């Protein structure tokens, strides 16, 4: 009944035996103990469980772990590199883009894709792209600011890399 | 430091995925619980057949109350003291609420619990259980519950569980003298607070220390401690409740639920750590809701627009168990007249049980209903007299010359309401200037001529916060110079770790980085009265200020001896204690704390170490206030409401951290927007929830929330040493009033808005009449 799966998560390979019905979010949280990814609604509405799977932002409560077999997953725990915060994390911190922090990991993972698609997003693009992520605390104003600031930070960093 | 917009300390763990919410907890040997819930709003539970569930692989046990007497225990009738101090209540008789009972009183009430080796096995166990019910007639609305011969929600108890009355002045004379009498039925729907984290609880019996550890998403950890200790017969010190990272509360988590006791009781008896996390579907059907509220209001006014009197009949649905007696209703009454003078007031209110989940506060807690009523009344007078709504407000407003102003009400802590250190006309005129009220009035005419429907609306709120009895804080400096601040309250996202650290760093002269704030752990402080009622900054903030002041006096005294100077000459800056003017003569806080451990001189300063515990007892609540103004355009084809401009002018005294205060306002505004334009928990006539997921229950998303302009008006209060007023619950209060007024204004009076949320259907119906 159980299936052997191998998934790369935040750069590290994991092989585990799982039930076919195990959701990817539960694989990450309960099997791998990566609890930064949260469950907020069970029906793919709130986006708290958003991760990157093979480059695509997906709601991990709506993917079976077996579907991610052989895949490459990035979660919030994989955002910061060598102890340095990701520009999106820096921007959420500086702009007060979070209060309770529960939706924040999923929100930030959605923003990684948003900024991949639109490095200099318009207000409309930001709002549209965040439609799948609900925040109850912030009223979104500071999240939107954080997306704009993060975009600038990423562009500045890329410019520095380009120069060196 | 105080008043600066410093980024939050708690952010780093939360943005890196290292926060520890209850469902993140994993302990060796942990097992998992899932609940069987009643599919009927009222039913006799005849039999719970456990066998099939016990045969499910991984299921450890099934429990429904007969196993241990503690599982039949009663939850505390009232959530703390609530309104026992209010003189308004003249009748109260609240049914008992058992952890498990043979009678289900709402859809979603717990009937049995399955404990298993994995969350999936627990869910399988729940699916396998067969329960035999005898469905009984139910009442799903307060209107149905008040009918003659309506089924009783609880046998032996009337459906009206509490009643209140209050009178100010002479309403009869006011109506006799009135030029205008207006009558309205105003209604607000039941809502869910809808934190993104649902409820959860975990518990572990720690045999090594003889402690029952409980992790909870609750806003009142000490209530959990006291209740669980009482039911299990354990000393309170053997029950430790931890509530650290919580994914939003907003009131729904501010009450003790049956699961909060059942899980610890099971963990104690089974000697296994147990975790339960609510699903969103469970949350929608079984967690508390705010309850429908209706106002029959009559207003007596003169033809010049001044109010003579107001008569209010208040009907409130309180669900199957009313743990808040009439707190929400009294909040509505206490906040009803907001910024305006109502010389005569007569109020009568009913708390009505229904076969729906128990009622509890949602951020604002009765104030949304108050603001909606008062501003709808003022707008009705404007319509009736032909005066501009702003002018009607100016004619009735309480002015600084009236201060201190007593409106004849008694707050629910038993103290007469008194406004002081507030300038309502300034808030109103500033909001009018920021929104360009008169400019929009002019443009509105031209736009109407072009067939565009633009309207302006006003909402004015007061927010009494900082309810007592008190909060405490322990401040201590360790030998490395690190400063710990303990508080008896926990955060659901408000940023206590930052704002309270700012207070301590400011008052001590310490580096902000050296200060760490710890709350949400009953082992830290003996007492705590919970996060709710916008009370933490006022109560805990001033307690931190007092405790830091006591520590500072110890620092100064000891340093003056060590540095050989007078106490007046000691200065503390950036965690360094020095003699004023003498550069070389200094000592760090850490070095001083090291000396304070063994120095005999500390005998005069309360014992070893640089630490102190102090409490702050407010005399009564403190009044924050504000004005919202909205300009909207209604699309005449689709009925869509576009917010063209939205201004929030508010006074919370000095913002401890403007970043945090504005965050509270942004988030609260979005909740108010939801209340105004879409949020509604819908039950059918059998008490079944029709809005059972986030697919069906509207919540504002990024694209729904417009830009808002926030203006701080700062009148520090003399009520507490920090001079602060509360802000947490302020922002959701007025958008319902301001937006409904703006929509009504945009539609040129073709709609008479009396209900929140304002629905697209109502707007379209009005547009068809044009």
Q: Report the pLDDT value the prediction gives residue B252, as an integer from 0 to 100.
A: 96
Give the Å distances, CA to CA, from B444 to B438, B456, B708: 10, 9, 20
* Record: contact B666-A108, CB cut-off 8 A: no
Residue B163's H or E segment, with its range, is strand B160-168
Strand order, beta sheet including B43-49:
B103-104, B43-49, B130-135
Given a contact cutoff of 8 angstroms between Cβ atoms, the answer to whether B319 and B356 are in contact is yes
Q: Report the pLDDT value the prediction gives residue B86, as an integer from 0 to 100.
A: 85
Q: Provide the 3-class DSSP secondary structure of residue B681.
A: coil
Distance from C-alpha of B33 to C-alpha of B263, rounded to nearest angstrom = 8
Distance from C-alpha of B645 to C-alpha of B631, rounded to nearest angstrom = 5
Return phi, psi of residue A154, to 5°: -65, -45
* Record: contact A100-B11, CB cut-off 8 A: no
* Record: contact A130-B701, CB cut-off 8 A: yes
* Record: contact A99-B120, CB cut-off 8 A: no
Alpha-carbon distance B7 to nearest alpha carbon in chain A (angstroms): 6
A4 contacts chain B (CB < 8 A): no
CA-based nearest residue in chain B for residue A137:
B667
* Record: contact A43-B280, CB cut-off 8 A: yes
Substitution target in B6, B10, B11 with the highest count of A β-carbons within 10 Å is: B11
All residues at 6 or more sequence positions from A158 whose CB lies less than 8 Å from its CB, including other chains? none
Mean pLDDT of A108-118: 98
* CA neighbor of B233 nearest in space, from B212, B203, B257: B212
Give the Å distances, CA to CA, from A123 to A57, A120, B101: 20, 10, 53
B-chain CB neighbours of A30 within 8 Å are 26, 118-119
pTM of the entire predicted model: 0.97
Given a contact cutoff of 8 angstroms between Cβ atoms, the answer to whether B267 and B203 are in contact is yes
Distance from C-alpha of B202 to C-alpha of B20, rounded to nearest angstrom = 12
Give the Å distances, CA to CA, from A24 to A57, A105, B157, B694: 13, 16, 48, 21
* Record: contact A100-B26, CB cut-off 8 A: no
Q: Give this complex's ipTM.
A: 0.98
Distance from C-alpha of B35 to C-alpha of B110, rounded to nearest angstrom = 6
Q: Report the pLDDT value the prediction gives residue B769, as an integer from 0 to 100.
A: 87
Q: Report the pLDDT value the prediction gives residue A164, as an integer from 0 to 100.
A: 65
Given a contact cutoff of 8 angstroms between Cβ atoms, the answer to whether B579 and B563 are in contact is yes
Residue A105 has pLDDT above 60, yes or no: yes
Q: Which residue stretches of chain B have pLDDT < 50?
A: none
All residues at 6 or more sequence positions from A51 whose CB lies less than 8 Å from its CB, including other chains? A24, A25, A28, A37, A57, A58, A60, A73, A74, A75, A106, A109
Q: Report the pLDDT value the prediction gives residue B81, as an integer from 0 to 100.
A: 56
B-chain CB neighbours of A46 within 8 Å are 196, 280, 694
* Record: contact A40-B197, CB cut-off 8 A: yes
**ω into residue B469 within 30 of 0, thus cis?**
yes
B191 contacts chain A (CB < 8 A): no
Q: Report the pLDDT value the prediction gives residue B281, as an integer from 0 to 100.
A: 96
Exposed / middle / buried, residue B418 (Cβ in 10 Å: 0-12, 13-18, 19+): middle
* Record: contact A48-B694, CB cut-off 8 A: no
**Residue with structure tokens 């007025």?**
B734
DSSP A108: H
B-chain CB neighbours of A35 within 8 Å are 17, 20-21, 23-24, 26
Kindly report the number of other CB atoms within 10 A of residue A145's CB atom.
18
E strands in B589-621? 610-616
């Amino acid at each position: 009944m159980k299936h052997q799966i191998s998934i790369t998560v935040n750069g590290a390979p994991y092989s585990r035996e799982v039930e076919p019905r195990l959701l990817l979010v539960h694989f990450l949280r309960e099997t791998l103990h990566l609890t930064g990814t949260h469950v907020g609604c069970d029906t793919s509405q709130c986006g708290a469980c958003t991760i990157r799977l093979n480059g695509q932002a997906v709601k991990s409560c709506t993917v079976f772990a077996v579907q991610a077999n052989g895949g490459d997953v990035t979660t919030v725990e994989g955002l910061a590199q060598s102890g340095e915060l990701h520009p999106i994390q820096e921007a959420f911190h500086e702009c007060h883009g979070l209060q309770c922090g529960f939706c924040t990991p999923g929100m930030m993972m959605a923003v990684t894709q948003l900024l991949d698609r639109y490095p200099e997003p318009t207000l409309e693009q930001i709002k549209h792209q965040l439609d799948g992520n609900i925040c109850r605390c912030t009223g979104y104003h500071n999240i939107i600011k954080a997306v704009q600031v993060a975009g600038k930070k990423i562009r500045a960093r890329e410019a520095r890399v380009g120069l060196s | 430091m105080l008043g600066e917009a410093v980024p939050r300390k708690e952010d780093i763990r939360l943005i890196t995925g290292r926060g520890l919410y209850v469902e993140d907890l994993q302990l060796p040997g942990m097992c998992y619980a899932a609940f069987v819930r009643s599919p009927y709003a009222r039913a006799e539970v005849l039999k719970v057949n456990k066998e099939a569930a016990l045969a499910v692989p991984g299921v450890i046990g099934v429990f429904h109350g007969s196993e241990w007497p503690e599982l039949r225990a009663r939850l505390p009738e009232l959530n703390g003291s609530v309104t026992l101090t209010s003189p308004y209540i003249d009748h109260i008789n609240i049914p008992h609420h058992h952890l498990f009972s043979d009678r289900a009183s709402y859809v979603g009430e717990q009937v049995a619990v399955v404990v298993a080796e994995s969350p999936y096995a627990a869910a399988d166990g729940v699916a396998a259980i067969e329960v035999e019910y005898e469905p009984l007639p139910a009442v799903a609305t307060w209107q149905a519950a008040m009918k003659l011969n309506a089924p009783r929600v609880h046998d032996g108890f009337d459906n009206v569980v509490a009643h209140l009355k209050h009178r100010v002045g002479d309403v009869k004379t006011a109506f006799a003298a009135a030029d205008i009498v207006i009558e309205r039925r105003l209604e607000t729907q039941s809502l869910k607070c809808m934190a993104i984290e649902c409820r959860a609880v975990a518990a572990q019996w720690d045999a090594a220390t003889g402690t029952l550890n409980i992790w909870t998403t609750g806003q009142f950890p000490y209530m959990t401690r006291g209740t669980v200790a009482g039911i299990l017969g354990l000393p309170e010190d053997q029950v430790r409740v931890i509530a650290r990272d919580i994914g939003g509360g907003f009131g729904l988590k501010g009450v003790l639920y049956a699961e909060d006791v059942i899980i610890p009781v099971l963990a104690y008896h089974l000697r296994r750590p147990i975790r339960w996390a609510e699903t969103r579907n469970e949350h929608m059907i079984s967690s508390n809701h705010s309850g429908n509220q209706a106002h029959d209001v009559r207003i007596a006014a003169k033809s010049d627009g001044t109010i003579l009197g107001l008569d209010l009949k208040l009907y409130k649905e309180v669900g199957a168990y009313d743990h808040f007696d009439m707190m929400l209703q009294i909040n509505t009454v206490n906040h009803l007249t907001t910024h305006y003078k109502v010389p005569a007031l007569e109020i009568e209110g009913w708390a009505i049980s229904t076969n729906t989940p128990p009622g509890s506060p949602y951020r604002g807690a009765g104030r949304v209903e108050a603001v909606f009523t008062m501003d709808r009344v003022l707008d009705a007078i404007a319509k009736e007299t032909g005066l501009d709504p702003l002018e009607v407000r100016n004619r009735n407003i309480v002015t600084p010359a009236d201060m201190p102003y007593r409106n004849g009400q008694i707050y629910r802590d038993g103290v007469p309401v008194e406004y002081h250190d507030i300038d309502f006309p300034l808030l109103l005129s500033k909001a009018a200037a920021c929104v360009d009220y008169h400019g929009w009035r002019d443009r509105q005419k031209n736009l109407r001529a072009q067939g565009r429907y633009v309207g302006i609306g006003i909402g004015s709120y007061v927010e009494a916060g900082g309810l007592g009895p008190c909060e405490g804080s322990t401040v201590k400096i360790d030998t490395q110079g690190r400063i710990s601040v303990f508080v008896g309250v926990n955060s659901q996202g408000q940023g206590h770790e930052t704002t309270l650290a700012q207070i301590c760093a400011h008052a001590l002269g310490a580096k902000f980085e050296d200060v760490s704030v710890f709350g949400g752990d009953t082992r830290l402080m003996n007492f705590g009265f919970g996060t709710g009622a916008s009370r933490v900054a006022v109560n805990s903030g001033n307690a931190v200020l007092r405790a830091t002041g006591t520590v500072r006096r110890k620092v100064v005294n000891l340093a003056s001896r060590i540095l050989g100077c007078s106490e007046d000459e000691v200065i503390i800056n950036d965690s360094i204690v020095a003699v004023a003017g003498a550069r070389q003569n200094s000592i760090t806080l850490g070095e001083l704390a090291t000396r304070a451990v063994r120095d005999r001189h500390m005998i005069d300063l309360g014992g070893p170490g640089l630490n102190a515990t102090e409490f702050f007892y407010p005399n009564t609540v403190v009044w924050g206030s504000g004005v919202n103004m909205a300009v909207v355009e209604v699309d005449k084809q689709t009925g869509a409401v576009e917010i063209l401009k939205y201004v929030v002018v508010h006074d919370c005294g000095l913002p401890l951290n403007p970043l945090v205060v504005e965050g509270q306002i942004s988030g609260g505004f979005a909740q108010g927007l939801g209340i105004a334009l879409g949020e509604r928990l819908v039950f059918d006539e059998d008490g079944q929830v029709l809005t059972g997921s986030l697919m069906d229950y509207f919540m504002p998303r990024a694209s729904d929330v417009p830009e808002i302009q926030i203006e701080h008006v700062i009148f520090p209060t003399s009520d507490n040493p920090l001079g602060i007023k509360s802000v947490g619950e302020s922002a959701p209060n007025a958008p319902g009033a301001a937006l409904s007024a703006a929509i009504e204004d945009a539609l040129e009076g073709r709609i008479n808005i009396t209900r929140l949320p304002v629905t697209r259907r109502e707007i379209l119906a009005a547009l068809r009449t044009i």
